[in-house]
Structure formats: structure tokens, C-alpha cells
Amino acid sequence: MLRKIGAVALFLLQVLAACGPALRRPSLIVRQIYNSGARSLIIIMLCGVVVGMIMGLAFSDMLSRFGSESALGVAAGLALLKELGPVLTALLFAGRAGTSLASEIGLMRATDQLTAMQVMAVDPMRNVVAPRFIGGVIAMPLLVAIFNIMGIYGTQLIGVTVRGVDAGTFWSQMQNQLDFSDVGEGIIKSLVFGIVCTLMAVYEGYHAEPTAEGVGLATTRTVISSSVLVLVFDYILTAAFL
């Protein structure tokens, strides 16, 4: 366990050292933002709406017991911005983009593509790992923002149109009660989760055994370690922001 933490930390340092040269190749990074971000859009938007709809139902029911249906907007906004948005997006990201990154790099290892790069005097850390890492870290906050927007839309859809919460109250409460620190907390969490999920994906892929089973194991390990770390870091960050 400690050995793995040390190995991941060393790998992070190697990746960070390769990020400088990789930033000079923006086309590689843009392609990875597309791969990790744009290709995750459908699932993020769909899940965002559904989560918002569930909150619309559940929160309006709970709040009605205290006669506080008018707080639906602010309750949903706080839950999404501070917790659900970053955490659920990170878990979805680990399942969609993380597995894709790990298996892609693992297959490049298994098919000698990384070795071929090294023999061509090209550093795979600079050309393969760093652009994917940067792309994932940039994509995550954008995906969280989209998840939050879709979630709030889903809450409004159910809360206002189905459960009969007043639309003006819904939006004005949200506007009055939420401040930038709530948004900032979500942004910081999304950045940290982006680093965690992408780092674990590229680490597991890069160190995958060059076999079909090895790539499969790397993919599985990516999801498990990313998910656990996201929850652990969420607790730490939530405690830090209190």
C-alpha cells in the first residue's frame, strides 16, 4: 500500500515534469480534452438531469414536511455545487474517461507503441501521458459545471412543473443564498478530483502488464482506486472548507 502510494507520487512528479514540454504541443492537449471531456458529455448531461429530477422529487417531499418547499432551489444548488456535482461527475469520469485512458495506454504498452516511441527517442511521458493528464484535469471542471447546470435544470423541471414549487421562489432563493465560496468549493473539488482520476488512469495504464489480462486489470484498478480516492479526498476537502 505504502509502496504504491510512493510509486504514484513519483509518477506524478514525472508527469508534472513532462507537462511543461507537453504544453508546447497544444494540439495534443486539445485532442485529449475532446477525448476525455467531449466524449463524456452525453453521459454527464443525462446523469445530471436524472440526478436533478431525483432531487426535485426527494427534496420537495422532505422540505414539504417542514413547510419549506421554497428552499428547494437553494437546497438543490448547495447539494449539487458542493458535493453531488463534483463527486458524481468524478465517479462517472472514472468509469467513462478513466477506463478509456487506462486501456488505451495499456494497449499501447501491450502493442509496443510506447517502446517504439522510446526507441525513436521520443519520451512517452511527454507525448502520451502528460497530454492525457492535462486534458483530463482541464475537462473535469467543465464537466462538473455542465453536470451542475443539468442537475439544477432537472430539479427545476420536477420541483416546479410537477411538484408545484413556485418558479420565482425557486430561482430567487438560489440566487440569494448561494455565494461564490460555494461555487469555489466545487471548482477546487473538481480540480482535485480531475487530478486524482486522471493520474490513477494514466498510472495504471502505463504500468499495465502487456497482456490482455493486464490491460483488463489496469482498467478495473483505475475505477476502484479512483472511486475510493475521490470519496476520501471529498471528505478531506469538505472538512477543510467547513
Partner 1 sequence: MRRSTRRSRASTRRPGPDGDITLSDMPNPAVVEVRGVNYSAGSRQIFNGVDLAVRHGSITAVMGPSGTGKTTLLRLLTGQAFASAGSVQVLGQDVASLRRAELFALRKRMGMLFQNGALLTDLNVFENVAFPVREHARLPEPVLRRLVLMKLEAVGLRGAEQLMPQELSGGMARRVALARAIVMDPEVLIYDEPFVGLDPVSMGIIVRLIKRLNDALGITSIVVSHDVAEVGSIADFSYLLAGGKVVARGTTAELQASNDPSVRQFMQGTSDGPVSFHYPAADYVGALLDTSDLVKGARP
Secondary element (H or E) of residue 181: helix 180-206
Q: Is 27 in the site for partner 1 (CB under 8 A)?
A: no
Q: How many CB atoms lie within 10 A of CB 70?
A: 15
Q: How many CB atoms lie within 10 A of CB 207?
A: 17
Q: Is 30 in the site for partner 1 (CB under 8 A)?
A: no
Q: Is 118 in the site for partner 1 (CB under 8 A)?
A: yes
Q: Cell numbers at residue 6, please?
A: 510512493
Q: Is 111 in the site for partner 1 (CB under 8 A)?
A: yes
- Nearer to partner 1 by Cβ, of 27 and 242: the residue is 27
Q: Find the shortest distance in angstroms from Cβ 32 to partner 1.
A: 11
Q: Is 115 in the site for partner 1 (CB under 8 A)?
A: yes
Residue type for 224, please?
Answer: I
- Nearer to partner 1 by Cβ, of 116 and 167: the residue is 116
Q: Find the shortest distance in angstroms from Cβ 170 to partner 1.
A: 46
Q: Find the shortest distance in angstroms from Cβ 89 to partner 1.
A: 26
Q: Binding residue for partner 1 (CB under 8 A) from 116, 212, 224, 236?
A: 116
Give the number of residues in contact with partner 1, rule: CB under 8 A: 15
Cα(205)–Cα(105) distance, integer angstroms:
5
Q: Find the shortest distance in angstroms from Cβ 102 to partner 1.
A: 16
Taking CA 203 as the corner, what is the angle to CA 200 and CA 207, rounded to the nearest 5 degrees?
140
Q: Is 211 in the site for partner 1 (CB under 8 A)?
A: no
User: Shortest CA distance to 69 belongs to which of 78, 60, 56?
Assistant: 60
- Nearer to partner 1 by Cβ, of 121 and 239: the residue is 121
Burial 155-183, CB ≥16 within 10 A → b, else e: bbebbbeebebeeebbeebbeeebeeebe
Q: Is 112 in the site for partner 1 (CB under 8 A)?
A: yes
Taking CA 96 as the corner, what is the angle to CA 221 and CA 147, rounded to the nearest 5 degrees?
125
Contact letters (x/-) for partner 1, 124-143, by CB under 8 A? ---x----------------
Residues that bind partner 1 (CB under 8 A): 107-108, 111-113, 115-123, 127
